[in-house]
Structure 1
Amino acid sequence: RWSYRQGVLKVDDLQPILDELTLADVIWRPFEDHRAWRLFDEICLYKGCLKWDETVVPYLPDRCLRQFGYRQYVPSPPLDCIMATNIDVDWISYHQSVIAVIGPSTLATTPSDVEDGYLEWYYCVSHPRLVPPHRDDPREVPVPVYDAGPSDPDWTRVSTLIHRYLRQVNVEEEDPQFADLFEALHIS
């Protein structure tokens, strides 16, 4: 079993480790060992908004059904809790929500059991930057570019001055002495 120690590895170090995990390495049902003394309550499958004081958050068990022993299917879009009008009524009638969550599924026969089409959805929609376990040629994932240019005339001036200085001293981006200036240039 693989476990992560806080602060030891960075994201770039974790990527190859996570890519090499097999189905046997993943703990699909982390709470299963507790069933002997803490029985599963179907209220855990309530899908809706949870509220405490002024805080309202979505609770989406249909996104992790395997942890509850069910076959995972493509979940519905996330809830918009800002639009939730009567959370108390939804909570009182939680049985309807539970039926909606487990209705499309069945009990899992293996811990990694998923419905047809789920893994394609997972890699394309939920986690498009993960590398699928099959070793085909990597697929191109479109990455949106959000460069709207400088938002302030002062930043435009800073960028121009840095460009001018770097051209005058004839340095390359790989030059460690000027790394901070190139970083500032990219930020501006």
Structure 2
Amino acid sequence: MHQTRTVSEYLTLLQAWVYEHFPTLCGDCCRLSASYVEDYPRALKWKPKRDKGLVLPFRKALDEIDVDEVCWTPYEDHRLKRPFEDVSLFRGWIRWGPKMYAHLPDRVLRQYGHVQTILGSPLEIVGQTTTPDEMDIMFTQYVVHVVDVGTVV
């Protein structure tokens, strides 16, 4: 958003996600780390440049990106070291302390190598009235709440 002046939260994770999913944007804003090996956390793969003048060109490049320039499965090489776990397909509320988040992996099935479908409202999927105790029980029984992934691409 043009009027936004600051961003908070864990920006290293956001940056690494952007570099992985939009590789054509990385030429001007980061470089690959020569010392990275797949045993390391994925965010260590990238060495961002520390140039504040990149914001406007970066925004322009992001606005003009084509769907074919998006990497939908960026972690395939990394899966040998960090295998995909079925719990990642859990659909429902998760919480960290007092904060609650709707986890909706069916909205990003393409990133998991499946056909993406059009979905309804997130509140229809996970409900609005789940209590923290119910959340904990649902997550411990995550197999019951795993997304039906359907067709593999």
- Give TM-score scaled by structure 2 length: 0.57
Q: Counterparts of 1:32 and 1:75 in 2: how far apart (Å)?
A: 25
8 Å CA contact 2:25–2:62 kept in 1: the answer is: no
Residue in 2 that maps onto 1:9: 55
Q: Relative to structure 1, is the Cα distance of residues 54 and 17 closer, same or farther in structure 2, using a 3 angstrom cutoff? A: closer
In the TM superposition, residue 26 of structure 1 has moved relative to its aligned partner by: 1.2
In the TM superposition, residue 68 of structure 1 has moved relative to its aligned partner by: 0.8
Residue in 1 that maps onto 2:135: 87
Residue in 2 that maps onto 1:21: 66
Counting aligned pairs with the same residue, the percent is 28
Q: 1:56 aligns with which of 100, 106, 111?
A: 100
Query: Which is strand-richer, 1 or 2?
Result: 2
Q: Counterparts of 2:84 and 2:70 in 1: how far apart (Å)?
A: 21
8 Å CA contact 1:31–1:67 kept in 2: the answer is: no
Residue in 2 that maps onto 1:112: none
Larger RCO, structures 1/2 (Cα 8 Å, 6+ apart): 2
8 Å CA contact 1:71–1:106 kept in 2: the answer is: yes
- Structure 2: 5+ residue stretches without partners: 1-22, 30-50
Q: Counterparts of 1:21 and 1:69 in 2: how far apart (Å)?
A: 20
Counterparts of residues 98-113 of structure 1 (less than 5 Å):
98=146, 101-103=147-149, 105-108=150-153
- Give TM-score scaled by structure 1 length: 0.47
In the TM superposition, residue 57 of structure 1 has moved relative to its aligned partner by: 1.0
How many residues get paired? 103
Residue in 2 that maps onto 1:73: 117
- Structure 1: 5+ residue stretches without partners: 109-188
8 Å CA contact 2:73–2:113 kept in 1: the answer is: yes
Instruction: Name which one, 1 or 2, has greater alpha-carbon Rg.
Output: 1
